[in-house]
Amino acid sequence: MSTLEIKNLQVSVDTEAGAKEILKGVDLTIRSGETHAVMGPNGSGKSTLAYSIAGHPKYKITGGSVTLDGVDLLEMTVDERARAGLFLAMQYPVEVPGVSVSNFLRTAATALRGEAPKLRTWVGEVKDAMNALNMDPAFAERNVNEGFSGGEKKRHEIMQLELLKPKIAILDETDSGLDVDALRIVSEGVNRAKAANDLGVLLITHYTRILRYIKPDFVHVFAAGRVVEEGGPELAEKLEESGYAEYVTQ
Amino acid sequence: MQGLQTNYLTPTGREEAWRFTPLARMGGLHDGTVVRSGESSLFLRTGLTSGVTFAQVAPDAIAPFSQSDDAVVLHARSEVTAISHLSIDKGITLAEPIYLGRKSVAGEYSRIKISLGVNAHAKVILENSGSTILGEDLEMELGAGASLTFISLQEWSADTVYSARHHAILDRDASLESIVVTLGGSLVRILPTVEFRGEGASVSLNGVYFASAGQHQEHRLHVDHLVPRAKSRVNYKGALTGDKAHTVWIGDVFIRAAAEGTDTYELNRNLLLSDGARADSVPNLEIETGEIVGAGHASTTGRFDDEQLFYLMSRGIESDDARRLVVRGFFAEIIGHIGAEDIQERLMTHIDTELSRVGA
Ligand SMILES: Nc1ncnc2c1ncn2[C@@H]1O[C@H](COP(=O)(O)OP(=O)(O)OP(=O)(O)O)[C@@H](O)[C@H]1O
Ligand SMILES: [Mg+2]
């Protein structure tokens, strides 16, 4: 049983005109097995929240706390946070030229498990994970995300989620750029990870489409750097119909 | 006569071609004062197959040669009486690479000529190693339709000075792929130059270099599009670490008025791994005709890409390992094309060792 606890989180970025405050006090608690959907207009700070929790150097924490099972995540380096059990599926996964997917996955698995996975079981493990997401095994020999289509990048993220077995996963617009079939395949991957590891999920999305596959327990409306409303799955339906107007103008 | 010529040639360091080079560290190659034993260091590692010859020949026997105003080349030409000539007959396709190596010679001017006949296809790997002061004039001449992959490895000892021109002359529809790898040496200055003499020829010039504290590595490319429809691609990548590591990359591409249909692109990327290192990168494109397919260049010099490191670290990979992966990946793009597993492994191991030494 794990708990990711975000309390009054305030974050700014450096701009040419000085520091710009983006998160203005975010409170969220995600426990193992729970799925929290976060929905909100473009530019409201959803990716900022995701990156700040994962430790991206661009974002400066100016207040509040983030803990995983009571341990301060903000004091940790990016890799330490991952080893503590955090995973971020990125909105825009990064291309790493010259580093093959298979080398990358093995290096990551070695770091997370504390020892190199046994070669003979590992090869099968990777093959299964790729098959499960309908990825051609040829991807293993390609460079990380290089030349991948938008949808292929997202599948690659969820394949890592299944392979690396975190406690808490943040999925930043994993559904955008996916065709109908890929959306189902990727959602099934997330659901398998939930079932297998009692994963807690923070799912950032613009559409209720993905929520038909991945059932949220809670829906949070995000606007102008904070959570402005919370509810159950029915809140997502309401947002789809009426948009964010009432939250943005308030 | 000799003395006059020498005086006239001796660079002062103010010339465009020498302005980045520390002449005091040239070991006398630029002014002819280098002490030489008179021996030739080059030898053939692999056996000869039918249609291939390797011999010491008098310059007269295989003249004419290309023009050059490089001081080191001119010294080599005025002194060397026997040229190492590797010749591959027309129509021959070699299944295996030809390996050239170096035996230990303390100081030397050297001349090498590699000739490929019409429609000959070969791969030549020049493995440079050892402790020496060497000035070299290397010429490759490709007949119509011939193709050559030329790989030169600079795995010199730490005190070596190597200054060389690797000049390619391509006849109609010939193609050259070159990979220059520069890791060792105190001062390495290589001029990979290309002269298109026939239409439809193409070159792909690639290089990687890794300069550690105190090393000077200079690569001056010069591609002359004199004739129509030739294609050139240049891709050089370097990493630098440590105090006074200095790399110089010059990419001169000329598209002459007659060179319609030229297609050229050149790229140089430098990765600065520490403070105190300096990378000079000067792409230079001169175009005398508008009737071309394409011409472009790009040059970047920077530190690690934060986004790449973040992505790798967000998967639990420690900072040092993430950096190592990125640098390995940076070089693998070119080293992976050498096509000889043992050499690729050896070069990557060298790079790993350098990286762990500096704790990158
Ligand atoms: N360097 C910067 N300079 C100025 N503003 C910035 C900078 N970096 C981020 N921002 C701003 O921070 C805000 C939040 O961005 P963020 O990416 O978190 O939004 P988001 O909610 O994920 O949007 P989307 O739905 O479009 O993905 C945006 O208004 C963005 O322009
Ligand atoms: Mg976003």
Q: Diameter of chain B by CA atoms? A: 68
Q: How far apart are CA B121 and CA B165, in angstroms?
A: 22
Strand ranges of the sheet holding A3-15, from the earlier edge strand across to the other edge: A18-31, A3-15, A59-68, A71-72
Residue closest by Cα to atom 22 of ligand 1? A47
Considering every ligand atom shown, identify the ligand nearest to the alpha carbon of residue A90 and give its number: 2
Q: How far apart are CA A183 and CA A208, in angstroms?
A: 12
* pLDDT given for residue B344 in this prediction: 97
Q: How far apart are CA A244 and CA A41, in angstroms?
A: 7
Q: Where are the alpha helices (DSSP H) in A165-243?
A: 180-197, 233-242
Q: Is A13 in the pocket of ligand 1 (CB under 6 A)?
A: yes
B50 touches chain A (CB under 8 A): no
Q: How many CB atoms lie within 10 A of CB B311?
A: 26
Q: Is A15 in the pocket of ligand 1 (CB under 6 A)?
A: yes
Enter the tokens of residue A44. 């409201």
* pLDDT given for residue B360 in this prediction: 52
Helix (H) or strand (E) holding B295: strand B294-302
A54-111 pLDDT per residue, tens: 999 999 999 999 999 999 999 999 999 999 999 999 999 999 988 999 999 999 999 9
Q: How far apart are CA A27 and CA A10, in angstroms?
A: 10
Closest CA to B76 of B118, B36, B119: B36
Per residue in B174-202, is it b (16+ CB within 10 Å) or e — as a string? bbbbbbbbbbbbbbbbbbbbbbbbbebbb
* pLDDT given for residue B354 in this prediction: 86
Task: Decide if pLDDT at A249 tops 50.
Answer: yes
Instruction: Looking at the complex, report in whole angstroms how far the Cα of residue B335 sits from the nearest Cα belonging to chain A.
Output: 10
- Chain B residues closer than 8 Å to A88 by CB: 314
Q: Is A17 in the pocket of ligand 1 (CB under 6 A)?
A: no
* pLDDT given for residue B359 in this prediction: 61
A56, A94, A162, A167, best to mutate vs chain B, most B CBs in 10 Å: A94
- How distant is the alpha carbon of residue B299 from its chain centre? 18
Of B307, B310, B318, the CB nearest to A111: B318
The C-alpha angle B114, B119, B124, rounded to 5 degrees, equals 35
Instruction: Provide CB contacts within 8 A for B16, sequence distance 6+.
Output: none
- Chain A residues closer than 8 Å to B313 by CB: 55, 77-79, 82
Helical pair A150-164 and A119-132, crossing angle rounded to 10 deg: 140
Instruction: Provide CB contacts within 8 A for A215, sequence distance 6+.
Output: A35, A233
Closest CA to B73 of B172, B2, B139, B144: B139
Instruction: Looking at the complex, report in whole angstroms how far the Cα of residue B179 sits from the nearest Cα belonging to chain A.
Output: 17
Residue closest by Cα to atom 2 of ligand 1? A15
* pLDDT given for residue B3 in this prediction: 40
Report how far apart, in Å, the C-alpha atoms of A154 and of each of A35, A127, A159, B253 are: 19, 17, 9, 41
Considering every ligand atom shown, identify the ligand nearest to the alpha carbon of residue A206 and give its number: 1
- Chain B residues closer than 8 Å to A50 by CB: none
* pLDDT given for residue B2 in this prediction: 41
End-to-end, the C-alpha distance of chain A in Å comes to: 37
| B244 within 8 A of B336, measured Cβ to Cβ | no
* pLDDT given for residue B4 in this prediction: 43
Interface of A with B in 98-127 (CB under 8 A): 98-99, 103-104, 107-108, 111-112
The C-alpha angle A75, A81, A85, rounded to 5 degrees, equals 140
- Chain B residues closer than 8 Å to A143 by CB: 329
What is the best residue among A10, A13, A49, A174 to mutate for testing ligand 1's pocket, by most ligand atoms within 8 Å of CB?
Answer: A13
What are phi and psi for residue A227, nearest 5 degrees?
Answer: -80, 125
* ipTM associated with this complex: 0.97
Average pLDDT over residues A159-170: 97
- How distant is the alpha carbon of residue B137 from its chain centre? 12
Q: Is A48 in the pocket of ligand 1 (CB under 6 A)?
A: yes
B232-286 pLDDT per residue, tens: 999 999 999 999 999 999 999 999 999 999 999 999 999 999 899 999 999 999 9
Amino acid at site B187: L
Q: Is A42 in the pocket of ligand 1 (CB under 6 A)?
A: yes
What's the whole-model pTM score?
Answer: 0.84
B318 touches chain A (CB under 8 A): yes
Helix (H/G/I), strand (E/B), else coil: A205: coil
B299 touches chain A (CB under 8 A): no
Q: Is B127 left (phi over 0), alpha (psi -120 to 50) or beta?
A: beta
Long-range own/partner contacts, residues B61-64 (CB < 8 A, 24 or more apart): B62/B113, B62/B115
Enter the tokens of residue A12. 């700014």
Tens of pLDDT along chain B (360 residues) come to: 344 444 457 999 999 999 999 999 999 999 999 999 889 999 999 989 999 999 999 999 998 889 999 999 999 999 999 999 999 999 999 999 999 999 999 999 999 999 999 999 999 999 999 999 999 999 999 999 999 999 999 999 999 999 999 999 999 999 999 999 999 999 999 999 999 999 999 999 999 999 999 999 999 999 999 999 999 999 999 999 999 999 999 999 999 999 999 999 999 999 999 899 999 999 999 999 999 999 999 999 998 889 999 999 999 999 999 999 999 999 998 999 999 999 999 999 999 888 887 765
Q: Minimal Cα distance from A107: which residue of B?
A: B317
Instruction: Looking at the complex, report in whole angstroms how far the Cα of residue A86 sits from the nearest Cα belonging to chain B.
Output: 8
Enter the tokens of residue A17. 């005109």
Closest CA to A200 of A101, A79, A53: A53
Domains and CATH numbers, chain A: 3-247 (3.40.50.300)
Q: Minimal Cα distance from B310: which residue of A?
A: A56
Considering every ligand atom shown, identify the ligand nearest to the alpha carbon of residue A12 and give its number: 1
Amino acid at site B18: W
* pLDDT given for residue B7 in this prediction: 47
- Give distance in angstroms: CA of A10 to centre of ligand 1: 14
Task: Decide if pLDDT at A211 tops 70.
Answer: yes
